[in-house]
C-alpha cells in the first residue's frame, strides 16, 4: 500500500523545482489564480512561519503584515499546480521550527535576524 | 489515504485501491443454483488446498473468492479477467469492507453518548452510560438498548464515493474519501446502488 501511495505521489509531483525552504525565510510565493476567464499570477510575500514536510502534502504557512498592521497568514501546498514559483529573499536565524510567537508581535519585535551563508 | 490535485489545483483526499486483476471463477445461474450470480477471485495465491485446486484448475490461483449477485450473467465467462478498467473517472461506487475492530468499547465511543459531568462533585462518571433500565416495571433492560460492547470488525458499506483516477495498467483506483478497514484490507467495489 505504501508503494501505491509513493507511486501516485511521484506521478503528481511533476518536476517543479523548489528552493530549500526553512522557517524564518522571507519568501515570495507566485500563485496562479483563475478569475472567471482570466488567469493571473498573484504574489504573496512574507515570512515562512511553518514548514510541513511529507511528499505531496508538503506545505508552508506564510505570514505577512498587510495594511493597517493586520497579519495575514496563508498556507500553500507546495506540490499544488497553482504554486508557480517560490523565491527566497532572505534567510533568518531562528531557534524554533514553528514561529508561532510572531503572531503576538508587531513592529520591531517581529523582526528576525538575518542569517548569511 | 493521500491527496491528489485535480483540475484547477483542487486538492482531493483519496484512498488508493489495487483493483484487480480479478478473474471470474464461477457463474451461477437460476436453473442450476436457483439464483444468478458471478463469483470472482482476487490476489495471486502461492498455495491452494485440494478443493480450491480443483475449483480453479484452468484459472490463475487466487486467494480470495467473492460472489456478486447479478442477473446479467450472460455477459461473463468463466476465466474472464476483470481489471480496474471496468470503472471510469467520475463513476459513483459503493465500497464494502470490514471495519477496523475497536474491541469492547464504552458507550461514549460506541454510541456517542455524552458521558457525565466533569465537575460538581462527580467521581467515576465522566464516561459512564447512565441508567439503562427503568424500575420494577419492566424490571429489565429492553433488548436493543445501546450499551457498551464489541465495536467495529463488521461489514460496512460506504455509499456513493466518486472515482477520481483510474490506471488500468497498474490496476489502480483512487476513490474520493475514506473506505472501511485498515491498510491492505480486502474491499469490494461495485456501482452505487442508490445514486
Report CB contact under 8 Å: A5, B2.
Answer: yes
Q: Nearest CA to CA, how far is B2 from chain A (Å)?
A: 7
Q: By percentage, how much of chain B surpasses pLDDT 70?
A: 100
Q: pLDDT value at position A66?
A: 87
Q: Give every CB contact of residue B119 below 8 A, 6+ residues apart in sequence.
A: none
Domain that holds residue B171: 2-90+165-181
Asked if residue B72 is part of any domain, the answer here is yes
Asked if residue B30 is part of any domain, the answer here is yes
For the segment A16-43, what is each residue's pLDDT rounded down to a tens digit? 778 888 898 899 999 888 878 888 888 9
Q: pLDDT value at position B70?
A: 84
**CA A108, A110, A115, A116 torsion: positive or negative?**
negative
Identify which of B2, B8, B184 has the shortest CB distance to residue A8.
B2
SS3 A2: helix
Give, for all 117 residues of chain A, the pLDDT tens digit.
Answer: 557 777 777 777 766 778 888 898 899 999 888 878 888 888 999 999 999 887 788 889 999 988 888 889 999 888 888 888 888 988 888 899 999 998 888 888 888 888 776
Strand order in the sheet with B187-191: B2-6, B10-18, B172-176, B155-167, B92-98, B187-191
Asked if residue B130 is part of any domain, the answer here is no
Asked if residue B193 is part of any domain, the answer here is no
Q: Nearest CA to CA, how far is B192 from chain A (Å)?
A: 25
Nearest Cα to Cα of residue B24 among B82, B103, B88, B91: B82
Q: pLDDT value at position A2?
A: 58
Query: Are B172 and B16 a contacting pair, CB within 8 Å?
Result: yes
Residue from B2, B166, B167, B176 to probe the interface with A (highest A Cβ count within 10 Å): B2
- Name residues of chain B where pLDDT drops below 70: none
Q: pLDDT value at position A8?
A: 75
Please, what is the average pLDDT of chain A?
Answer: 85
User: Is there a cis peptide before residue B8, judged by omega within 30 degrees of 0?
Assistant: no
Report CB contact under 8 Å: B9, A80.
Answer: yes
Report CB contact under 8 Å: A5, B16.
Answer: yes
Asked if residue B13 is part of any domain, the answer here is yes
A30 and chain B: CB distance < 8 Å anywhere? no
Report CB contact under 8 Å: A32, B9.
Answer: yes
Asked if residue B151 is part of any domain, the answer here is no
**CA gap A74, B3 in Å, rounded:** 19
**CA A111, A83, A42, A100 torsion: positive or negative?**
negative
Q: How many domains does chain B have?
A: 1
Report CB contact under 8 Å: B3, A55.
Answer: no
Q: pLDDT value at position A5?
A: 78
Domain boundaries, chain A: 20-105
Report CB contact under 8 Å: B170, A7.
Answer: yes
* CATH number of B11's domain: 3.30.160.810
Asked if residue B114 is part of any domain, the answer here is no
User: Is ipTM > 0.90 here?
Assistant: no
**Alpha-carbon Rg of chain B, whole angstroms?**
23
Q: pLDDT value at position A14?
A: 66
In the block, which residue shows the cell 459513483? B92
* CATH assignment, A20-105: 2.30.30.790
Q: pLDDT value at position B100?
A: 94
Q: Which three cell numbers stand for residue B103?
A: 474491541
For the segment B135-172, what is each residue's pLDDT rounded down to a tens digit? 888 888 899 999 999 998 999 999 999 998 888 888 88
B interface residues, A as partner, C-beta within 8 Å? 2-5, 8-9, 11, 16, 18, 165, 170, 172, 174, 183-184
Residue from A5, A36, A41, A52 to probe the interface with B (highest B Cβ count within 10 Å): A5
Q: pLDDT value at position B131?
A: 85
Amino acid at each position: 500500500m505504501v508503494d501505491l501511495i509513493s507511486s501516485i505521489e511521484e506521478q503528481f509531483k511533476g518536476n517543479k523545482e523548489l528552493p530549500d525552504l526553512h522557517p524564518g525565510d522571507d519568501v515570495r510565493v507566485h500563485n496562479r489564480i483563475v478569475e472567471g476567464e482570466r488567469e493571473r499570477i498573484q504574489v504573496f510575500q512574507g515570512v515562512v512561519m511553518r514548514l510541513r514536510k511529507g511528499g505531496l502534502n508538503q506545505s508552508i504557512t506564510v505570514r505577512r503584515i498587510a495594511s493597517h498592521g493586520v497579519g495575514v497568514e496563508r498556507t500553500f501546498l507546495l506540490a499544488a499546480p497553482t504554486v508557480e514559483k517560490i523565491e527566497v529573499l532572505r534567510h533568518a536565524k531562528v531557534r524554533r521550527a514553528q514561529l508561532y510567537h510572531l503572531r503576538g508581535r508587531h513592529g520591531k519585535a517581529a523582526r528576525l535576524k538575518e542569517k548569511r551563508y | 489515504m493521500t491527496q491528489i490535485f485535480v483540475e484547477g489545483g483542487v486538492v482531493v483526499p483519496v484512498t488508493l485501491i489495487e483493483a484487480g486483476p480479478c478473474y471470474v471463477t464461477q457463474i451461477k445461474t437460476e436453473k442450476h443454483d436457483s439464483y444468478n450470480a458471478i463469483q470472482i477471485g482476487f490476489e495471486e495465491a502461492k498455495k491452494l488446498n485440494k478443493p480450491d485446486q480443483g475449483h480453479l484448475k484452468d484459472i490463475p490461483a487466487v486467494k480470495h473468492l467473492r460472489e456478486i449477485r447479478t442477473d446479467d450473467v450472460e455477459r461473463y465467462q468463466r476465466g474472464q479477467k476483470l481489471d480496474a478498467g471496468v470503472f471510469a473517472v467520475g463513476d459513483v461506487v459503493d465500497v464494502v469492507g470490514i471495519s477496523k475492530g475497536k474491541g469492547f468499547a464504552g458507550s461514549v465511543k460506541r454510541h456517542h453518548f455524552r458521558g457525565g459531568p466533569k465537575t460538581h462533585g462527580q467521581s467515576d462518571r465522566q464516561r459512564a452510560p447512565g441508567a439503562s433500565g427503568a424500575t420494577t416495571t419492566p424490571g429489565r433492560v429492553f433488548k436493543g438498548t445501546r450499551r457498551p460492547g464489541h465495536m467495529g470488525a463488521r461489514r460496512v458499506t460506504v455509499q456513493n464515493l466518486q472515482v477520481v483516477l483510474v490506471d488500468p495498467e497498474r490496476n489502480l483506483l483512487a476513490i474520493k474519501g475514506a473506505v472501511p478497514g485498515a491498510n491492505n484490507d480486502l474491499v469490494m467495489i461495485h456501482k452505487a446502488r442508490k445514486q
